[in-house]
Structure formats: structure tokens, C-alpha cells
């Protein structure tokens, strides 16, 4: 079991090292995409399935609450949280429409829809992205190695260089944290404390 744990850690380190080389610039572009929308008074919406749904809610919490510094709340809504809406749409229409239907109700031109899908092929996420583009909403994708169909629908797509879902999700979490940090710096000109000065808030 010890070797199994070490193997997972080594695999994660390899992916994160590859991200350092290939994703720093696109992640900065993604941060500017989000910052531009927020400066204009627009909103950020985010969706994903399973572990990606949890990460969608995590990012919304960082935006509405705070990441590392005290600052005004940022408007971000996870489309994964309202069980009544989700189950009503899945029951009355189809599960593939659970995000698209919410997008129809909520998205406006100039908003940003953040789509998480390790495969880049999640049908319900893709339908929301397709609708967002028709509405004039910008699309930020987070996917795995190839990006799948989500990459084609995204203004910016951050593709973690991995094939295994756990490694991709670990990469997505790091990227969402990096985006949170960038937004606090860019929008509020506030530097986060050094890691040795940071205090655990949870």
C-alpha cells in the first residue's frame, strides 16, 4: 500500500510538472477572460459532473467568499447545487439538459461559463457550452489531455496533460486555485500572503 500511495504521488508530480511548462500561459489568458467579464459587471457560472461538480462548487465558494485575501465578493454560481432544479429538469426533460436549461434561464451576453469535464465529452456540459456560445457567453473549458469536443467550444481551454481522471481532477483543482489567486491580484491589486504566512481558514 505504501508503494501504491507513492506511485499516485509520483504520477501527480509528473502531471503537475508538465502543467508548469504547458499551462501557465493559457491559465493566465483564462484569468484575464474571467477578470474582463467581472470588471464589466458580468457573472461567472460553472458546471461539471461528479468530482467536477464538487470542484465547481469549490470554485464558486472561493469567488463568493474569498481565496487568500479579504476583498468584495465576486458573482459566481455553480449550476450543480440546486437539487430541485437538477432533478426537475432531469425528470421532465433529460439529464443531458440539466445545465443547458439553467444556462437558458441565467446566462447573459458577456458572462462566462466555466465547464469542467475530464474527458471533454460530457454531454450535459457540452450542451450548456453550445447554448452559451449562442447566447454570447464566453466559455472557459477545463478538460483532460485532448480537450475533447469541449476544446472546440471554448474561448480558452485548459487541458491537463493526463489521461486518468484522478490526475486530471488534481490538475483542475490546482488551476482553479491559480485562477482564484490571479483574480484577487488583478481585480483588487492585493497580494496574497506568502505561504509561510498563510493561516488555515477551515
Q: What share of the chain is helix, strand, coil (3-state, %, to 5)?
A: 60, 10, 30
Mean pLDDT to the nearest integer, 171-184: 97
Q: Summarize pLDDT for 123-143 with one digit per residue, the tens.
A: 999 999 999 999 999 999 999
Integer Cα distance of 77 and 60 in angstroms: 6
In a domain, 197, yes or no: no
Residue 20 inside a domain? The answer is yes
Distance, in Å, from the CA atom of 86 to the CA atom of 169, rounded to the nearest integer, reads 23
Please check whether residue 199 lies inside any domain of the structure. no
The position carrying cell 484522478 is 166
Amino acid 189: pLDDT: 85
Find the mean pLDDT for residues 65-86.
Answer: 97
Looking at residue 140, the DSSP 8-state letter turns out to be E
- Looking at the domain assignment, is residue 43 inside a domain? yes
CATH of the domain at 169: 3.40.50.10490
Q: What's the number of domains the chain is made of?
A: 1
Q: For 92-107, give the secondary structure using H, E and C.
A: HCCHHHCCHHHHHHHC
- Give 115's strand partners: 47, 141
Is residue 80 in some structural domain?
yes
Cβ proximity of 27 and 179 under 8 Å = yes
Task: Identify whether 163 is part of a domain.
Answer: yes
Residue numbers of the domain that contains 15: 2-189
Provide mean pLDDT across the span 141-161: 98
pLDDT the model gives residue 192: 59
Residue 116 falls within a domain, yes or no? yes
> Which stretch of DSSP H or E encloses residue 175?
helix 165-188
Q: What percent of the chain has pLDDT over 70?
A: 94
CA atoms within 13 A on the CB side of 192: 18
Residue 40 domain-assigned (yes or no): yes
Confidence of residue 200 (pLDDT cuts 50, 70, 90): low
Half-sphere exposure of 10 (CA within 13 A, CB side): 6
Please name which of 156, 201, 159, 185 lies closest in space to residue 29, comparing C-alpha atoms: 156
What would the grid cell of residue 140 be?
A: 472557459
**Minimum mean pLDDT range among 7-16, 51-60, 127-136, 182-191:** 182-191
- For cell 437538477, what's the residue? 86
pLDDT of residue 197 exceeding 60: no
Read off φ and ψ for residue 76, nearest 5 degrees.
Answer: -145, 130
Amino acid at each position: 500500500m505504501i508503494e501504491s500511495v507513492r506511485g499516485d504521488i509520483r504520477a501527480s508530480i509528473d502531471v503537475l510538472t508538465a502543467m508548469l511548462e504547458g499551462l501557465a500561459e493559457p491559465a493566465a489568458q483564462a484569468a484575464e477572460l474571467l477578470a474582463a467579464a467581472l470588471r464589466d459587471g458580468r457573472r461567472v457560472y460553472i458546471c461539471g459532473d461528479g468530482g467536477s461538480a464538487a470542484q465547481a462548487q469549490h470554485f464558486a465558494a472561493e469567488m463568493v467568499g474569498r481565496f487568500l485575501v479579504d476583498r468584495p465578493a465576486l458573482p459566481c454560481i455553480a449550476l450543480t447545487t440546486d437539487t430541485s432544479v437538477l432533478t426537475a429538469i432531469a425528470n421532465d426533460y433529460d439529464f443531458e439538459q440539466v445545465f443547458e436549461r439553467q444556462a437558458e434561464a441565467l446566462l447573459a451576453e458577456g458572462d462566462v461559463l466555466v465547464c469542467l469535464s475530464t474527458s471533454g465529452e460530457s454531454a450535459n456540459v457540452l450542451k450548456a457550452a453550445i447554448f452559451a456560445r449562442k447566447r454570447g457567453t464566453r466559455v472557459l473549458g477545463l478538460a483532460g489531455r485532448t480537450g475533447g469536443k469541449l476544446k472546440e467550444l471554448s474561448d480558452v481551454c485548459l487541458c491537463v496533460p493526463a489521461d486518468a481522471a484522478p490526475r486530471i481532477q488534481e490538475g483542475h483543482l490546482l488551476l482553479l486555485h491559480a485562477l482564484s489567486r490571479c483574480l484577487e491580484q488583478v481585480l483588487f491589486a492585493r497580494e496574497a500572503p506568502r505561504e509561510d504566512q498563510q493561516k488555515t481558514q477551515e
